[in-house]
Amino acid sequence: MININYDLKTINDKRNIIKVKLFETSRIKSDNFTNISNYDLNILFKLYDEIFLESWFHHNFKGKIKFTLSRQLTRSAGNTRTKKNIAISKPEDIEFEIKISLNHLTDFDKVDRYKYVGGIVVKNKLDSLMLIFEHELCHVIEFLIYKKSSCRKKPFKNLIYGLFGQTESTHKLVSATEINIQKYGYKPGDKVDFEYEGKVLRGIITRINKRATVMSLDINGNYVDSLGNHYMKYYIPLNYLSKKAEF
């Protein structure tokens, strides 16, 4: 399996074949689908195994792979996990869990810009899903070969380029942070006012996700900066913030 290398035309042709079969056999019926389930990820895996991997998993893999759509993945588009003892596990005891971020799929069109997965422009949700899936599948393959996996290192990069033509290990998709920055106009480093337990407090935004993380000066705070200033940390909905602070 490690020696499979496709040219870019072959890769694109195989992806198109997968799309057609996916439309025929899953709940996914269009490039910008509205319905998807964990079962659809199982179908996608079987198609990738058949069309890209010459059914290697079907004929050789004795373990288990669980596929999950996750709302908990907010920063990464996908995640692959296995037990730490994979190097000494029996083939039939090896288990993987691949999680795909549902957030990155549902938020795909909420910001108008180019999106990338693995260095490749993705124009719709299905392209995004497939390339994220390819990335996670390469983690599984690398775990099986080397008993460890890192997308930052050369073996992984060679593997994912040879199989799927992906040139980068990171993705540039739409995050909750980007959506909230666009919607509310706040960004990390902004100084803000907010109300907490009947008091108006002031602080600095250090992170934005679904809520803003705000650090506010407080002599009793548990967080200390390099100058010895103490802060309390607050998690505040962005619509509760005001940018009127002057300090």
pTM of the full structure: 0.83
Q: Which residues in the chain come in under a pLDDT of 50?
A: 245
Rounded Cα distance between 114 and 151, Å, is 23
Q: How many residues does the chain have?
A: 247
pLDDT in tens, 49-86: 999 999 999 999 999 999 999 998 888 999 999 999 99
pLDDT, position 21:
97
Rounded Cα distance between 200 and 226, Å, is 26
Do residues 180 and 23 lie in contact, with contact meaning Cβ atoms separated by under 8 Å? no
pLDDT, position 3:
76
Task: State the DSSP H helix or E strand holding residue 51, giving kind and residue range, or none if neither.
Answer: helix 38-51
Task: Centre a 10 Å sphere on the Cβ of residue 63 and count the other Cβ atoms it contains.
Answer: 17
DSSP state of 185: -
Rounded Cα distance between 152 and 165, Å, is 16
